[in-house]
């Protein structure tokens, strides 16, 4: 349920209200407004009697039943668009970010070169896989902790925050020591133990939509992270599995406005994994931005033909530069701004 306080509620009444919410077995999540405060009381569906009980308490203006199965991700609990901030920029509520880098961290030279031109062309975050969950057990699985150390070195050299995938709950601790953002990949989008562990890390979580997930299931996955007290969640549409084989996956551009209609969380797109072919990455990126995306995450490699994973979809340096030129021209028409080095 959603509890709305009266304007100017006293600290004593507010603290008493929080204490009573907890006493009834609910977890309070506070959203501070200009004149009043919203408290999402998260737990089992409340009875009419319980809602009347809270309405009678000092400082309470309204008690509303939350209609969505996802609570903390909904506009009902959080009526203002969320903004996630980094040293290099912001995303959400009109702010746009670009994260870019190689699919997998392969060597120091490869990563630092990619980080250099990502930064020079206006990218605000460096991506790179240290742990790589692959369809084949014989494919490149990443450098592990060595890859994390190289990402930290690249951050030191460029000032770019880094995002990398975490693949199991037991790896959350070590990945969180190095990364600014924990990525939950499509294959783990409903790994609920991992979602909870990532949520408890205190790090921003970049959550990719599973290849066969409905949007409601996607938001429920985000709810697992949010329920751990972590409000910094970014949703990523990365393409879903359909009958079409011309692209690796089918980018669900409609997911962007639908998610934004139902949730306050920033929404990004991943045109690289949707396309599977580098020549489609730029038009898919622009389409997602035009649909209202708050950011993109793309793959780029100094020498794609030698990439150990996803070679066909990684952009060359000049292609990434062109993508950034097109993105920066498009954003003003959509009333969005990209803060570099914010």
Q: Is 132 a residue whose pLDDT tops 80? A: no
Predicted local confidence at residue 169, as pLDDT: 96
Burial of 318 (0-12, 13-18, 19+ CB in 10 A): exposed
Across the chain, mean pLDDT equals 93
Q: What is the reported pLDDT for 171?
A: 95
Tell me the per-residue pLDDT of 226-257, one tens digit each, with 9 for 90 and over: 999 899 999 999 999 999 999 999 999 999 99
Please give the pLDDT value at position 340: 77
Task: Tell me if 293 sits within 8 A of 269, measured CB to CB.
Answer: yes
C-alpha span between 255 and 185 (Å, rounded): 17
Query: How many whole angstroms separate alpha carbon 251 and alpha carbon 270?
Result: 8
Q: Which domains does the chain have, with CATH numbers?
A: 2-64 (3.30.70.1140), 84-334 (3.20.20.70)
- Give rounded-to-5 percent helix, strand, coil for the chain: 40, 20, 40
**Is the pLDDT at 209 greater than 80, yes or no?**
yes
The span from the CA of 51 to the CA of 334, in Å, is 42
pLDDT at 134 over 60: no
Q: Is residue 25 within 8 Å of residue 44, measured between CB atoms?
A: yes
Within 10 angstroms of residue 283's Cβ, the number of other Cβ atoms is 12
326, with CB counted inside 10 A (0-12, 13-18, 19+), is middle
pLDDT at site 137:
65
Cβ 313 vs Cβ 273: under 8 Å:
yes
What pLDDT does 35 receive?
A: 62
Report yes or no: 8 and 23 within 8 Å, Cβ to Cβ: no
- Residue 191: the pLDDT is 96
Taking a C-beta distance cutoff of 8 angstroms, is the pair 222, 73 a contact? yes
The Cα 220–Cα 4 span in angstroms is: 24
Q: What is the pLDDT of residues 48-96, one digit of tens each?
A: 999 999 999 999 999 998 888 899 999 988 889 999 999 999 999 999 9
């Amino acid at each position: 349920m959603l509890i709305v306080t009266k304007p100017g509620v006293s600290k004593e009444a507010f603290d008493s209200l929080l204490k009573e919410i907890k006493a009834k077995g609910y977890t309070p999540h506070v959203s501070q407004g200009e004149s009043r405060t919203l408290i999402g009381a998260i737990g089992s569906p409340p009875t009419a009697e319980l809602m009347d009980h809270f309405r009678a308490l000092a400082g309470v203006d309204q008690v509303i039943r939350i209609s969505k199965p996802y609570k903390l991700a909904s506009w009902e609990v959080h009526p203002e668009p969320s903004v996630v901030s980094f040293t290099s920029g912001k995303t959400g509520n009109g702010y746009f970010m670009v994260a870019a880098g190689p699919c997998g961290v392969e060597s120091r030279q490869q990563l630092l070169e990619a980080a250099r031109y990502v930064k020079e062309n206006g990218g605000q975050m460096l991506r790179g896989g240290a742990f790589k969950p692959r369809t084949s057990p014989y494919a490149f699985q990443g450098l592990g902790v060595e890859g994390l150390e190289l990402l930290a070195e690249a951050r030191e050299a460029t000032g770019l925050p880094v995002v990398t995938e975490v693949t199991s709950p037991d790896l959350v601790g070590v990945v969180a020591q190095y990364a600014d953002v924990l990525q939950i990949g499509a294959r783990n989008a409903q790994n609920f133990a991992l979602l909870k562990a990532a949520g408890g890390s205190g790090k921003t979580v970049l959550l990719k939509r599973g290849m066969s997930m409905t949007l409601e299931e996607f938001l429920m996955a985000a709810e697992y992270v949010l329920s751990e007290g972590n409000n910094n969640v970014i949703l990523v549409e990365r393409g879903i599995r359909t009958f079409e084989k011309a692209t690796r996956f089918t980018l669900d551009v409609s997911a962007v406005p639908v998610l934004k209609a139902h949730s306050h969380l920033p929404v990004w797109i991943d045109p690289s994994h949707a396309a599977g072919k580098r020549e489609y990455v730029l038009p898919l990126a622009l389409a997602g931005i035009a649909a209202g995306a708050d950011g993109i995450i793309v793959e780029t490699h100094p020498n794609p033909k030698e990439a150990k994973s996803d070679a066909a979809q990684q952009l060359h340096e000049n292609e990434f530069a062109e993508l950034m030129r097109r993105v920066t021209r498009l954003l003003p028409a959509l009333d969005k701004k990209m803060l570099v080095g914010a």
